[in-house]
Structure 1
């Protein structure tokens, strides 16, 4: 059995550290001519490997790498005419390039704890100094993408070997954030 590629940015020892002063950059799709460019004007947060089947992944990768930034700090600056929303009914409105298929940004616009955030793929930054992912989310979901369930123990081990704790949902702080938002919305918390 060949070893499955986690993701090119996390595969080899998890040595990416990035710069603690990283404050945003320009994302570019994979098109050689007229690439879509999206400016992220702030530091990214909650950078993680994601196993869900909705996120864009590089070829042969089991995981995507995803982070968030406030939507008001994310703007399309070039060739926005090439963008299309992948699934208008989804919570995350992923805008992808019609030509190369790369997801450029995904704002959350509905009433949700993540409303006002945009999901982005930091490996698309033209500046490679973005911070490393800190956890892996929706790990079991890679089975839905075709990974044999018998590989899961090895994949979780591989994730831990690159310092990414695997979760089958989100990290504990993000789950706390979601639960707090829900409790405040229902009136249980103020």
Structure 2
């Protein structure tokens, strides 16, 4: 019997396959008046469900859907005056709409393995066909936002029903990228 846990409105009914030729589009906030529009050129990468306490989530969602795009391929098209950085001290500089609260893009500007990338919420694309999420990250973190620990077995079960692998950090590919960057910076790895 399928779990009734609400992961995200765009995922609860199943993960929809993306289009192989998806080449970006326009992210639109939830405002009816003067919506913020952000163009993303090219596809997004590493799309996943994220349970961290920092990512924007729609009403009723335990997880966000988040992916990355090169920051130089992300451009504010309309109503950028409505954007404000949520937490200037955070690694990801999440630019949120002050009207509706949707996080529109979040560049990583500090010295980090993800410098040069911006985090975006692909379900905000006005175009369909964006790449499907491939895993779930920071699953245990939803406890920090109010999910009872007793619900976690059901949450992990629902994530697996959706065909996603649940991780309590990032997936192995991204964790390897971070560790490689750290090792090169420390001089313990030379490639």
The answer, yes or no, to whether TM exceeds 0.5 is yes
In the TM superposition, residue 3 of structure 1 has moved relative to its aligned partner by 3.2
In the TM superposition, residue 40 of structure 1 has moved relative to its aligned partner by 0.2
In the TM superposition, residue 20 of structure 1 has moved relative to its aligned partner by 1.1
Report matched runs for 1:46-85 at 5 Å. 46-85=46-85
Runs of 4+ in 1 over 4 A off after TM superposition: none
Distance in 2 (CA, whole Å) between partners of 1:10 and 1:152 is 17
User: Secondary structure of 1:72's partner?
Assistant: helix
Distance in 2 (CA, whole Å) between partners of 1:11 and 1:28 is 22
Partner in structure 2 of residue 4 of structure 1: 5
Distance in 2 (CA, whole Å) between partners of 1:3 and 1:103 is 27
User: Secondary structure of 2:181's partner?
Assistant: helix
For the aligned residue pairs, the C-alpha RMSD in angstroms reads 0.9
In the TM superposition, residue 9 of structure 1 has moved relative to its aligned partner by 1.2
Are 2:96 and 1:96 equivalent residues in the alignment?
yes
User: Would you say the 8 A contact 1:29–1:97 is kept in 2?
Assistant: yes
In the TM superposition, residue 4 of structure 1 has moved relative to its aligned partner by 3.0
User: Secondary structure of 1:81's partner?
Assistant: helix
Where does the alignment leave 5 or more consecutive residues of structure 2 unmatched? Answer: none
User: Secondary structure of 2:30's partner?
Assistant: coil
Where does the alignment leave 5 or more consecutive residues of structure 1 unmatched? Answer: none
User: Secondary structure of 2:68's partner?
Assistant: strand
Q: How many residues align?
A: 188
Deviations 1:24-59 (A, max 9, x none): 000000000110000000110000000001000000
Are 2:36 and 1:45 equivalent residues in the alignment?
no
TM-score by length of 2: 0.97
User: Secondary structure of 2:140's partner?
Assistant: helix
